[in-house]
Amino acid sequence: MAFSTTMLSWGTLEYGKRMGPQLQNSRAAIRWATDYLIKCATTTPNTLYVGVGDPTADHKCWERPEDMDTVRTVYSVSPRNPGSDVAGETAAALAAASMVFRKVDPKYSRLLLATAKKVMQFAMQYRGAYSDSLGSAVCPFYCSYSGYKDELLWGAAWLWRATNDASYLNFLQSLGANDASDIFSWDNKLAGARVLLSRRALIGNDKRVESFKQQAEDFMCRILPNSPSSSTSYTQGGLMFKLAQSNLQYVTSITFLLSTYAKYMTASKHTFNCGSVRVSSATLRNLAKQQVDYILGENPLKMSYMVGFGANFPKRIHHRGASIPSKASHPEAIGCDSGFQSFFYTSNPNPNILTGAIVGGPNQNDGFPDDRTDYSHSEPATYINAAIVGPLAYLAGSYSS
């Protein structure tokens, strides 16, 4: 949730002027999340609440949110049970959002930034991964596979951008988070932090972050299909393919970085090389456009992976509220187990259309079974959607920066 909020905020900061009437909706969505994150961070001193509900118990039910009666267990991290990863991401979300609201709601913006600083301090001071502290409350669903150093880098990069306080720059330079990366997701933020920091190098000509710009370009060279150092597979239809489980989450997040680095390159008239291959802002922009076009229906199946968009889109998404009749049409309660036989295992289309949701996407052969039980391909997620808002605004707004 925090990563979704950071990405939606970043998209709004970079592309807000191209969002037209959607800018208000974007701010409203960010505020909905940050109101909650502020509560999580300020309700109890030295405690960050990070989850509600036992994921194993909740996954055993197929029921509407209105009918849920599973125990609402609350999980938190603290100095004795640290979670630098979840705290670093929460700090990033609050700091990024503080810039979104800086002019339109200065008081709220100040509260966001003050809270972000406290949460970042907690992440830096009490080191540890939340999966180690919380175990089965977060694993295997959202385990911190990449550790917490990437979130410390990401959180500090956002706080530096929001405050201009050089102590955050000193901290992130001392981290030694120098591993090469060819992915960007809710779990691994290295590439995102490097692109964010590159903004200062390219637009601000700040030599202190030159090494992060080099790492950002190394990342781009690992993504581009014609680069000699590419480590990214593409399907025959042209879709970036990273991992079998919910692949589109990587596509939307990486596409955000392609668009945004292209934007910085255009503004600074910058190009770089991958070996002997010259890379211009147009190179990155064209790949970003190709990925967005694929998601929206330019693919071998002519399938839009955005629900409700285009003539052909997923009809059996893995989503409880979408797959079970609404309270209006079925007022009686549907219990924890009752939803499986009638609504989960059926081949009938979902009764409710979750307009705009992007699902996990096709397999490596450009195939898509549209099967509700196949969560790797049919499940939507906020972090898939949040990352594509920026690229959509970028492409809709025109090609000029």
Share of the chain above pLDDT 90, in %: 98
pLDDT at 399 over 80: no
346: its two tokens: 């059926």
pLDDT at 11 over 60: yes
**Residue 262 confidence class, pLDDT cut points 50, 70, 90:** very high
What is the rounded average pLDDT of the residues 376-391?
98
89 noted as active-site residue: no
pLDDT at 237 over 60: yes
pLDDT at 371 over 90: yes
Per-residue pLDDT at 401: 43
Per-residue pLDDT at 293: 98
377: its two tokens: 């391909």
- What is the rounded average pLDDT for all residues in the chain? 97
Out of 14, 182, 370, 377, pick the active-site residue: 370
Segment 58-116, tens digit of pLDDT:
999 999 999 999 999 999 999 999 999 999 999 999 999 999 999 999 999 999 999 99
- d(CA 205, CA 216) in angstroms, rounded, equals 15
318 noted as active-site residue: yes
Per-residue pLDDT at 94: 99
Per-residue pLDDT at 400: 44
Per-residue pLDDT at 397: 77
Per-residue pLDDT at 398: 60
Out of 318, 319, 366, 377, pick the active-site residue: 318
Residues 6+ apart with CB under 8 A from 149: 175, 176, 177
pLDDT at 50 over 60: yes
> Token match 């969560």: residue?
375
What is the rounded average pLDDT of the residues 357-362?
98
370 noted as active-site residue: yes
Give me the numbers of helices (H) and strands (E) for the chain, helices first please. Answer: 16, 6
**Residue 329 confidence class, pLDDT cut points 50, 70, 90:** very high
**Strand intervals (E) in 235-349:** 240-241, 272-274, 277-279
Q: Which residues pair with 241 in a beta bridge?
A: 233
